[in-house]
């Protein structure tokens, strides 16, 4: 059984690499956040903060209701529908790119991970995140890849006084913003690894690595 699983994983990686080289597969990376200057440096916009470190030019797509940028075979998307309606972008993206389990990546802030941590996951619950709930609703499945950006303070989610929904809409302090921004190189390499090698291989490499 183990050998069969290893064979299937290797076969999946080979097929994916071939498709990427032939230009037949786009990876669509949806970074969740809220539009507007007052949200620019909030915890809920952690995904946008990292994406903006990598992508310098965005163009608004009226059909997707999202800012978009294409870098090779990777399509970057920032929904402009506000967090709770993030999944509304999927209607156009499904038609344009044939979204499926293998080529949809959603990047979001995660209170279950400490600040400074980034993890790749696949086919998991929404963790109470309204943006992910909306993606699952419109995608029709939770079987897609996520890049989870840790935003929890020291002491974890349980150390946050009051409603955690107030916390995610607060502005980061300068030190936290600098720490998050400094993760952009690692984040970019993780996205490229998911695109080229697939989520299984990327998880094996990057969830164990600190580089």
- Provide the annotated active-site residues: 44
User: Which distant-in-sequence residues (6+ apart) come within 8 Å of 178 by Cβ?
Assistant: none
Half-sphere exposure of 44 (CA within 13 A, CB side): 22
SS3 67: strand
Please, is 43 exposed, middle or buried when counting C-beta atoms within 10 Å of its C-beta (0-12, 13-18, 19+)? buried
Of 208, 29, 204, 196, which Cα lies nearest the Cα of 107? 29
Angle at 134 between CA 133 and CA 138, to 5 degrees: 120
For strands 74-79 and 66-71, give the pairing: antiparallel
- Bridge-partner residues for 157, per DSSP? none
The owner of tokens 């402009």 is 80
What is the DSSP secondary structure assignment for residue 171, as one 8-state letter?
B
- Length of the chain in terms of residues written: 211
Confirm if 27 and 74 have CB atoms less than 8 A apart: yes
């Amino acid at each position: 059984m183990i050998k069969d699983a290893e064979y299937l994983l290797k076969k999946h990686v080979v097929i994916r690499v071939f498709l990427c080289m032939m230009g037949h597969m786009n990876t669509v990376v949806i970074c969740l956040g809220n539009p507007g200057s007052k949200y620019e440096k909030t915890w809920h916009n952690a995904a946008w903060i990292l994406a903006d470190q990598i992508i310098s030019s965005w163009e608004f797509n009226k059909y997707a209701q999202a800012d978009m940028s294409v870098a090779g075979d990777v399509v970057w998307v920032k929904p402009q529908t506000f967090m709770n309606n993030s999944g509304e972008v999927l209607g156009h993206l499904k038609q344009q790119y044939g979204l499926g389990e293998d080529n949809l990546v959603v990047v979001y802030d995660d209170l279950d991970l400490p600040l400074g941590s980034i993890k790749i996951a696949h086919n998991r619950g929404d963790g109470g995140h309204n943006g992910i709930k909306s993606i699952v609703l419109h995608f029709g499945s939770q079987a897609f890849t996520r890049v989870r950006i840790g935003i929890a303070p020291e002491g974890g989610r349980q150390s946050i006084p009051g409603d955690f929904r107030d916390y995610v809409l607060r502005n980061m302090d300068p030190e936290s913003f600098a720490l998050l921004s400094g993760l952009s190189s690692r984040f970019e390499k993780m996205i490229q690894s998911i695109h080229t090698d697939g989520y299984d291989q990327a998880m094996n490499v990057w969830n164990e690595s600190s580089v």
